[in-house]
Structure 1
Amino acid sequence: MPKFVLAYHGSPQFDTKEDGANHMVAWKQWSESLGDAVVDPGMPVGASKTVSSAGIENGGGANPLAGITILQAETIDAAVVMAQSCPHIDAGGSIEVAEAMDMEM
């Protein structure tokens, strides 16, 4: 079955620690609800730097990466449906979904 990378963008800001904790509870519930589709629950990431031919940009640019998850699904559209219910979206973030390509290196 194809694998898909969910790349979380944006860093939701919470008014209180309790709001942040509630968000994490909701995220864990969402992840668990996906069952065997979750290949790797992934991780959040810290501050980033974008490297290009123009140089190095601190902070990840206009829409910085916030974390990743690896899912398996029959199609990219099925993976998108799974991503649409992620609490990261309700918290103001966005999720990029892309198929992980199998290739020999």
Structure 2
Amino acid sequence: MPKFVFAYHGGGKPESEEEGAKVMAAWQNWLGGMGDGCVDMGAPVGMSKTVSAGGVADDGGSNPLSGYTIVEAADIDAAVEMAKCCPILDGGSGTVEVAPVMEM
């Protein structure tokens, strides 16, 4: 079955431990609900640096990565449907980029 990367951008940082626990539970429920479709739960990532021919941006650029997950789905449309329920979309401050993993 084809694999897809969910690249998370944006999202907010919980303001309290209670809010953090709610966010974590939402992610665990969403990822767990995928069953075998979730190949690699991935992880959040720290502040990145973006390297280009013109130099290095220390702030991760205009749309920095905030985490990733790898899933299996029948096709990209099925993967997009899975991504539509991602907790990072709650509140409208984050996005999910869906891309196929190419076999090498």
With structure 2 as the length reference, what TM-score do the two structures score?
0.94
- For the pair 1:79 / 2:79, whether they are aligned, the reply is yes
For 1:17, the equivalent position in structure 2 comes to 17
Tell me the percent identity.
53
How many aligned positions are there?
103
Shift of 1:61: 1.1
Matches within 5 A, 1:1-105: 1-91=1-91, 92-103=93-104
Shift of 1:33: 0.3
RMSD of aligned Cα (Å): 1.0
- How many angstroms apart in 2 are the aligned matches of 1:96 and 1:11? 13
User: Conserved in 1, the CA contact under 8 Å of 2:49 and 2:59?
Assistant: yes
Give the secondary structure class of the aligned counterpart of 2:42. strand
**Residues 8-56 of structure 1, C-alpha deviations (whole Å, 9 max, x = no match):** 0014133322112211110000000000100000111001000000100
Give the secondary structure class of the aligned counterpart of 1:70. strand
- How many angstroms apart in 1 are the aligned matches of 2:15 and 2:66? 18
Q: Which runs of 5+ in 2 are unaligned?
A: none
- How many angstroms apart in 2 are the aligned matches of 1:21 and 1:62? 29
- How many angstroms apart in 2 are the aligned matches of 1:11 and 1:82? 18
Shift of 1:67: 0.6
Q: Which runs of 5+ in 1 are unaligned?
A: none
Q: Amino acid of the residue matched to residue 7 of structure 1?
A: A
With structure 1 as the length reference, what TM-score do the two structures score?
0.93
- How many angstroms apart in 2 are the aligned matches of 1:17 and 1:59? 26
